Amino acid sequence: WDRADVRVEGSPATEQALRFNAYHLISAADHDPRASVGARALTGRAYEGHVFWDVEIFKLPFYLHTCPELAKNALLYRHRTLDGARRRARDLGGRGACYAWESTVTGDDVTPRVIRLTTTGKEIPIFTGTQQIHVTAAVTYGAWRYWEATRDQGFMRDAGVEIMIETARFWASRVSAGRRGLHIRRVVGPDEYHHSVDDNAYTNWMARFNLERAVEAVEWLRRELPREAAALFERLGLTSDEPRTWRTVARELHCPAPNASGVIEQFEGFFDLEEYALPREERFRAPISRLFEWERINGLKLIKQADVLMIFHLFPDAFPREVVAANYRYYEPRTDHASSLSPGIHAAVAARLGFREDAEHYWRESLWLDLSNRMGNSA
């Protein structure tokens, strides 16, 4: 706690809220590498304690800079569950390892395929278990950020490089050729309102990052620890041609660029979808009809949470300010923030842009989300 406390002079309420959130993060983590942090910890039946992408993308930075041993344990959980990720990759017709959208102690995916309405018997399909594959690159992203911060050679030798090799293998097997290079088709991005889309910008950006870092990790291990490298590569059947293939895939992977207005298309065809006038009262408390009207929602310019904006949050130096601003202005009005993961990202991107009013608004929404019962689910 001494390492994580934040003091805010002149605003006891802000200080209290920060402490409240830090306490939740600290108390939810464990020193046991067989476990990770469930999306809602153990506060209720929702999500059943399963592990999602928010561990590596949203929680890990806090652990990394306050208690890095907890960050390492969360990543060791991913290494221990590699076999489950390998099974998921095979189930999806790929190679290597594809991490589960909802992961358990074995790493197997337990995402439900449908929701059955008890009143009518109607089944609503759930696409996240088969199409929300960006979690795979999130694990590599977390492992690489841990490596950057700690230079923990033991972790990279024993776990990190193997994670990166197996996830790179999956991405190399998941791409398909097209007229604009290589593509990743039929996915769900962070915005869960749209399924079966092609070239989700965030997913492709993260896949490219995964492939490039895997090449670097293999080269590092071969250079610094040649005997350990030889043993690992033999165990995994890694040939010298594979990293070269990953480099080629990363180079040829279609990562949507900004258009003439500076906006990156969330996925192929998003700009052609029907406009939706988002009422203010639907923000943060999206109506339950979003779930029932999934086919209609799939055709609207309506976003559940930060998607393209995630790129600017995780890669803040990748684009000039005017491009980031253009994307913020385009996507922010179309987002209903039905996920608690959304306001914090909007706050961070707005703050970097100097949009002070928006930054403060979304920061406060995120900071007091549970304490104010903003989304009606604090219980």
| Structural tokens at position 144 | 């690489």
Q: Tell me whether residue 192 is one of the annotated catalytic residues.
A: yes
Phi, psi of 103 (to 5 degrees): -100, 145
Residues 74, 60 contacting (CB under 8 angstroms) = yes
Q: What are the residues facing 51 on neighbouring strands?
A: 103
Residue 301: C-alpha distances to residues 95, 193, 260, 291 (Å): 34, 10, 19, 16
Which of 166, 192, 212, 242 does the annotation list as catalytic?
Answer: 192
Q: How far is CA 224 from CA 218, 239, 375, in A?
A: 10, 18, 50
- Determine how β-strand 123-125 pairs with β-strand 114-116: antiparallel
Residue 97 makes CB contacts below 8 A (sequence gap 6+) with 82, 85, 86, 88, 89, 136, 163, 166, 167, 169, 170
Which positions ≥6 away from 221 have C-beta within 8 Å?
156, 157, 161, 228, 229, 232
> Three-class SS string for 194-216?
CCCECCCHHHHHHHHHHHHHHHH
Nearest-CA neighbor of 163 among 90, 53, 68, 78?
A: 78
Could you tell me where the beta strands, DSSP code E, fall in the chain? 114-116, 123-125, 176-178, 181-183
Q: Which residues are identified as catalytic?
A: 192
